[in-house]
Structure 1
């Protein structure tokens, strides 16, 4: 008998459609191309402020001053009252945020609708048991939590797409929203159930596939009677491969690799967390946990490039710096959320702030300040590597496109981290008035 399907337990008390992505007060952007934000915070106390360079990433600065005709909107975060302690001169957002919201909402609406149909056929005792299980696992009443959880997942899928992969056209941005929605649905289930005992998710169904199709099936070729979960996953896979059978397949393979990692590592990681003797060892682990293959594939998919193995090898340094900066940024900004989840729900906490605390015997504020310094040094290295690539006569156009996309993605990830409801909901004073 297979694992139980956990997602319906999270969502089954929903009686309506998912809540809107936006809520309450917000900081109005100066352009309709820029999505409104509702939260902004800096996890590092002001007495740990560190000077940043204003000379790095000239190409990104030029885009802010003279926006090109592309898929991106370039943002000066401080204009929106978002703390911006970084060398990146701007944040970047995909212009197609409304279409991204629509795509994520359509998928989540479909999932909720199918769950509601399924719930109607369950016995009353099973429903009550599921509600009690939900309350125990997630630390909230089954009536109150799902709407908040839906809002968080939907918001994360939208903002993760538009900030981290801003170069996507409309079709690819819509696909990325669905991919990130499935990632965070999977991630929350695994975290809440300590990995191996968690029920199946959509990505687990993908993981069970012995091999992915190399191309989408012919139009109109469907399999009647396919269970709704498999049908939704099949439709997603077909949409990805129809859009781009090369980088689309790479994207799906990245999802499989990451979901396997989450299943096979999380229990071991709980015991190993206290054994990291230095940040370097932890970072090596964290880069795998970040979904490295998926992230690289997403950059290729959203920029519509198909690099050769030789071109990828020539980008090894900037790809590594990308993973280091992204993982440590997420750790820094998610620390308060992870600590809250550890204390209230017993969730696993795997975070570089905690590694620095344990190994340097310092408080969390000091550890955060140290981590900020490390991030700024990574930005220095990133700038130097991008400029080296641009000045190298052997660098191809595809390599320069990927290198610029890396910079945009990291700037976007920082903006996402500083404004996302997922992290900010537990930070006092983060909500904009």
Structure 2
């Protein structure tokens, strides 16, 4: 090898070394960034109370850490590829994500052919012997369009007396800009994706559409008005349902003037009979209330004709068992999940054998329910009477015996008393399929 060739090879190796060193620097920088985010997260999570973040704010550094992990992974892949090329090795192929994308998504195929399929030996065109397939998730960005509606007019050229034209369709906003599909998109963005109107207005602005949040709110309000018959129809179904489920969830609400938020509550009323072979549609209605006192369920459940109300052990629901109705007072159905959650905590924190046995008994009840899910009510009731009822009959005295043997001020005793206090609602499932 002559001097020029050695010089070229030396320059090539130096370039490769520089490339590898740069890739390693990127890896080290990404790693330092990730470590810094994790240290900040630990300080905000476990530090002094004045330094801690709220639960909502704590998600932000977690997202930063996930982003930093992505940067680190990309830097490592680049460094590994540079090192492999320096050693004359083939870069490691990335792991394929095949078969994990939903089947209902449309597939758009592209075929990448080699620059030439002629055999290097001069034998002619090569034959296709297989292919590699990969799938990646793509998106078509939202694109606004203008819907132009033309309504031709027709007249008779002979008599010139008759003129016909199709009636103009009715719209949520008469004479306004939006189509009903656009309004539905705004509503889903607002209430489903929690995207405020002012942020949506910014999205429109990027497309040259000057729509302020007041306009978007007006359109949404009009749509809500026209949706009232649908809501009334859903409410009629719920009012006639024999069994409903009710639960309340806290929601922070802006409190103008205080520059803060206050607590409001969304009360969900649900009917879903699919678990026992019902053919009615599953329905969920939400009621907003400024609190979670007993007056709120009494108000929005007025006129309901059901018998069973599935709920948690919140005391406000007890008021429903005291009201006078033609159908009789509501019968509360309490949830075994809330009971199980208590004993899971006790077993994990204390290793209590009593909690472990209680979890085992609840698992048996769950297994029985799994075998009858979707069957007719009469069949479900028969299986419950034959298999679940003996477990329930033995479980209550067993709990009473265990309660007498443990310290009465212990958390386990509190959990057992909670279970026994709601026993009528917990075993209600034995009376109805």
- Using structure 1 for the length normalisation, give the TM-score: 0.25
Q: Whose RCO is larger (CA < 8 A, sep 6+)? A: 1
Q: Which structure shows the bigger proportion of residues in helix conformation?
A: 1
In our comparison, the structure showing a higher alpha carbon Rg is 2
* Greater share of strand: 2
